[in-house]
Chain A
Amino acid sequence: MLEVDKISKVYKTGTFGGELKPALREVSFGIDKGEVVSLIGQSGSGKSTLGKIILRLVGASSGTVRFEGADISKLDKAGLREYYRHVQGVFQDPFSSYNPLYKADRVFEMVRSVYFPHVRGPEWHAKVEAALESVSLNPADVLNKFPHQLSGGQQQRLLIARALLLDVRLLVADEIISMLDASTRVDVLNLLVELKRRGLGVLFITHDLSLGNYISDRSVILRYGAVVEMGETPKVFGNPQHPYTKSLLAAVPQLHKKWEPGELGAAVVPASYPGGNGNAADHGEPKRYSKSSLNPLRHPAPHGETPAATASASRPSLMELEGAPWQRARPRGRRTEAVLAANPAPPLVEVEDGHFVAANGQ
């Protein structure tokens, strides 16, 4: 249904926009009818940019997005309106998606004025109520209310209902539940599953792997704007190949499994930190707690290491995770093509059926 074909995007950064940063590098994947694809990556990995490109809120530097065979960058005004009838987005912050001065259901009226100018009142009302029912909202609870009178989960479901009023086939869901409480986020997640069963395609953009795993059929892992691993979700999560995917998985906090030291990669306690190697006394370092003497409530240490050792050894090399890996191709690098040429996306290798990984751990 939707095809993303070698999409690249270069942003201007630096004090005067003098530098070019590749936000997306030759990203390709597709979404079928009734399929949930999660797009997973850290902040800065380009996942939201890709969502915006698909919604045509931002233009791509190169590559094409095709929806049902048509290149979306070539759509004229009427074509674009038709496109938005089928492709809709819901974003992270429901509280800022509404105008607080108007009642929340104004979003439905705006859809009506653009897409359904000829639908009559009662018929429209029935349509709105049907859409609200399908996101399991009670119309009496949410109609005629101001946004602040609704909970975050209700607001978010209202926005999905708005998309459903149209003949929506693809929903771009950009971090739609990260601002919601645990008790309400499940309702929104289950709603997406329900919609998927009815044939809706969903691009589920998230940084939370457990959510991505819960809901999606296929997963795409982005790192610095390039795909490092993608494929069917059980394969990607059950048998992660790329070191980046592994370290992301290791960082997910779990209820019944404690973080192990060293999972995130190299341990770094700078040698210049005097207390770093347990040689504390020389520097007047205050005495540390040891887990045993800590307090009676503290659960026992599994292997009896000192907490300092555990904590220092498990420090991830954050600089490595955050740092900028791209080559600054200057002075010629001021041109988009040169920047992209200097930062090619790693080639993908199929390790098992339907499971692709960037070659050489790049």
Chain B
Amino acid sequence: MTLDVEALSVAYRTLRGDVRAVDGVSFSIADGEIMGLAGESGSGKSTLGNSLVYLEGRMKHTGGTVRLDGKELPIWDQRAMNAYRLREVSVIPQYAMSALNPTRKIGRMTADLLKSRGVGYDSVVEEFKRRIDLVGLPQNVLGMYPFELSGGMRQRVTMVISTLLNPSLLIADEVTSALDVSTQRAVGEMLMEFRDRRFVKTMIVITHDLSILAQIADTITVMYAGKLAEKAPASTVVDQPLHPYTQLLLASLPEVGLRYDQAALVGIPGRPPSLLRPPAGCRFRARCPFAFDKCAEEPPFVELKPGHQVACWKAAEDAAQEKAARQAVPAGRGGEPAGAGAERAPAADGHGDEQAAAVGARAVPGQ
């Protein structure tokens, strides 16, 4: 595992107390994996990403460890982190387009940046030029000021500079959100290519746009109110999500070709809870259509299927029932075991049915 995050907690200090934006989060990312991190605004996804690179003054590391390539990152010590930034961990900031120094030419600015990391500009300038080529920009951008470039060009320059020293971990925070669709796609494909060419070993792509992640990410992690809700391979999250929040989030996305008179989309009623004093138990409980008594306890973030981790009591129960059903039905019998019926009974609406159907379909090859 390239990146191992263990029970990480980060809080914002406010006058009214600590806002626990990231609360006991554990996950790991494999070599070559692009992990998408999705969630609503205020879910703590940017805080999680930023805390791996730079803790702002108002942010506080309140627990947990981060290990990158086996070494522990001193994320609470800003001085010590300097040795890792740009070389080991790097970030493409949320507003990459305005992250460039307006008073310096691109080349000069990069030289300054590298000098502050103790790297001679001359030693990397050839590679820099090749990568500028790779992203489809003319080499003379090195002699240009940022205002001479369009938004999309600035975004690409920032991406090249951020990854120039081949960091192990790259955090891309909402890099596609401010762009229009064709540039969005180009940037997404560029991120994949950077990984394919091993400019970066692993990547965390933070966005609220699940459909972008479905295109470029290997795994998708969904965050809700400072906690992880679900992590699974991208196609599994998109096709067979287990957490009700993920299911509702996907249901609220308009697909190309869908019109309001054909099918009305539904939003998720309610708002995320305040993280100043988060509610006990499952934090999605107040908005969740499947909530039941057990949800007053906090659900653990556990692996329910191979490579599929979920923090939800209902999903855990469903998985347990499915397992029991599979064991109860002798081999060679039809695909309508009693378990599938029991599965369908508690389901309140279409999602449950879909899920039950998917469960039934999956149960077949196992027999």
B196-246 at interface with A (beta carbon < 8 Å):
196-198, 208-212, 214-215, 218-219, 233-235, 238-239
Contact between chains at A270 and B182 (CB < 8 Å): no
A-side contacts of B265, CB under 8 Å: 186, 189-190, 214
A-side contacts of B239, CB under 8 Å: 256
Bound Cα distance from A322 to B138, whole angstroms = 14
A-side contacts of B320, CB under 8 Å: none
Bound Cα distance from A327 to B219, whole angstroms = 46
Most buried by A among B31, B130, B238: B130
B345 within 8 Å of A by Cβ?
no
Select one of B197, B218, B233, B255 contacting A275, CB under 8 A: B197
In the complex, how many angstroms separate the beta carbon of B66 from the nearest chain A beta carbon? 20
A182 within 8 Å of B by Cβ?
yes
B144-182 at interface with A (beta carbon < 8 Å):
150-153, 166, 179-182
In the complex, how many angstroms separate the beta carbon of B214 from the nearest chain A beta carbon? 5
Bound Cα distance from A236 to B174, whole angstroms = 30
Select one of B33, B136, B198, B215 contacting A318, CB under 8 A: B136
Contact between chains at A210 and B133 (CB < 8 Å): no
In the complex, how many angstroms separate the beta carbon of B248 from the nearest chain A beta carbon? 7
Question: How would residues 190 to 212 of chain A score, 1 for a CB under 8 Å from any chain B CB and 0 otherwise?
Answer: 10010000000000000111110
A79 within 8 Å of B by Cβ?
no
Looking at A54-62, A117-125, A295-303, A353-361, the stretch in contact with chain B turns out to be A295-303
Contact between chains at B215 and A295 (CB < 8 Å): no
Most buried by A among B151, B182, B211, B215: B182
Contact between chains at A289 and B195 (CB < 8 Å): yes
Contact between chains at A289 and B198 (CB < 8 Å): yes
Interface size on A, residues (CB 8 A): 72
Select one of B152, B183, B219, B268 contacting A297, CB under 8 A: B219
B-side contacts of A322, CB under 8 Å: 150, 152-153, 183
Question: How would residues 209 to 233 of chain A score, 1 for a CB under 8 Å from any chain B CB and 0 otherwise?
Answer: 1110111000000000000000001
Question: How would residues 141 to 155 of chain A score, 1 for a CB under 8 Å from any chain B CB and 0 otherwise?
Answer: 000000000011100
In the complex, how many angstroms separate the beta carbon of B236 from the nearest chain A beta carbon? 9
Bound Cα distance from A307 to B191, whole angstroms = 12
B-side contacts of A211, CB under 8 Å: 254
Looking at B100-108, B256-264, B296-304, B355-363, the stretch in contact with chain A turns out to be B256-264
Question: How would residues 288 to 327 of chain A score, 1 for a CB under 8 Å from any chain B CB and 0 otherwise?
Answer: 1100001111110000000110011011111101100000
Q: Which residue of B lies closest to A274 (CB)?
A: B130
A102 within 8 Å of B by Cβ?
no
A-side contacts of B250, CB under 8 Å: 255
B-side contacts of A287, CB under 8 Å: 198
Contact between chains at B259 and A233 (CB < 8 Å): yes
Interface size on B, residues (CB 8 A): 65
Select one of A186, A213, A294, A295 contacting B267, CB under 8 A: A186
Contact between chains at B189 and A184 (CB < 8 Å): no
Looking at A105-113, A127-135, A164-172, A245-253, the stretch in contact with chain B turns out to be A245-253
Select one of A183, A213, A314 contacting B257, CB under 8 A: A213
Contact between chains at B180 and A253 (CB < 8 Å): no
Bound Cα distance from A275 to B135, whole angstroms = 13
Contact between chains at B188 and A253 (CB < 8 Å): yes
Select one of B181, B197, B234, B271 contacting A252, CB under 8 A: B181
A-side contacts of B254, CB under 8 Å: 186, 189, 210-211, 213-214
Most buried by A among B249, B266, B271: B271
A-side contacts of B50, CB under 8 Å: none
In the complex, how many angstroms separate the beta carbon of A320 from the nearest chain B beta carbon? 10
Bound Cα distance from A296 to B264, whole angstroms = 37
B98 within 8 Å of A by Cβ?
no
Q: Which residue of B lies closest to A181 (CB)?
A: B40
Bound Cα distance from A193 to B188, whole angstroms = 32
Contact between chains at B185 and A253 (CB < 8 Å): yes
Question: How would residues 274 to 317 of chain B score, 1 for a CB under 8 Å from any chain A CB and 0 otherwise?
Answer: 00000000000000000000000000000000010000000000
Most buried by A among B186, B195, B238, B268: B186
Contact between chains at A298 and B218 (CB < 8 Å): yes
Bound Cα distance from A169 to B185, whole angstroms = 37
Contact between chains at B267 and A187 (CB < 8 Å): yes
B116-142 at interface with A (beta carbon < 8 Å):
130, 133-134, 136
Q: Which residue of A lies closest to B250 (CB)?
A: A255
In the complex, how many angstroms separate the beta carbon of B9 from the nearest chain A beta carbon? 24
In the complex, how many angstroms separate the beta carbon of A265 from the nearest chain B beta carbon? 9
Select one of B152, B182, B192, B264 contacting A247, CB under 8 A: B182
A-side contacts of B184, CB under 8 Å: 251, 253
Contact between chains at A182 and B181 (CB < 8 Å): no
Q: A254 with B32: in contact, given A181-B208, A307-B192 (CB under 8 Å)?
A: no
Bound Cα distance from A274 to B197, whole angstroms = 12
Contact between chains at B189 and A237 (CB < 8 Å): no
B-side contacts of A151, CB under 8 Å: 271
A-side contacts of B112, CB under 8 Å: none
Contact between chains at A254 and B189 (CB < 8 Å): no
Contact between chains at A210 and B248 (CB < 8 Å): no
Select one of B192, B266, B307 contacting A296, CB under 8 A: B307
B30 within 8 Å of A by Cβ?
yes
A348 within 8 Å of B by Cβ?
no
B252 within 8 Å of A by Cβ?
yes
Q: Which residue of B lies closest to A324 (CB)?
A: B150
Contact between chains at A269 and B183 (CB < 8 Å): no
Q: Which residue of B lies closest to A275 (CB)?
A: B197
Contact between chains at A214 and B193 (CB < 8 Å): no
Q: List 6 A-B contacts (CB under 8 A).
A: A255-B255, A275-B130, A289-B198, A307-B193, A318-B182, A318-B183
| A-B contacts besides A215-B259, A311-B192, A317-B136, 19 pairs, CB < 8 Å | A182-B210, A183-B249, A186-B265, A190-B264, A214-B259, A248-B181, A253-B185, A253-B214, A256-B255, A268-B136, A273-B130, A273-B133, A289-B195, A289-B198, A297-B307, A299-B233, A307-B192, A308-B196, A318-B152
**Across the A-B interface, the 10 shortest Cβ-Cβ residue pairs:** A183-B268, A207-B180, A186-B267, A311-B193, A253-B211, A251-B185, A251-B181, A214-B254, A187-B267, A251-B182
Q: Which residues of B contact A (CB under 8 A)?
A: 30-33, 40-41, 130, 133-134, 136, 150-153, 166, 179-186, 188-190, 192-193, 195-198, 208-212, 214-215, 218-219, 233-235, 238-239, 248-250, 252-260, 264-268, 271, 307
Q: Which residues of A contact B (CB under 8 A)?
A: 42-44, 151-153, 181-187, 189-190, 193, 207-211, 213-215, 233-234, 237-238, 247-256, 258-259, 264, 268-270, 272-276, 285-289, 294-299, 307-308, 311-312, 314-319, 321-322
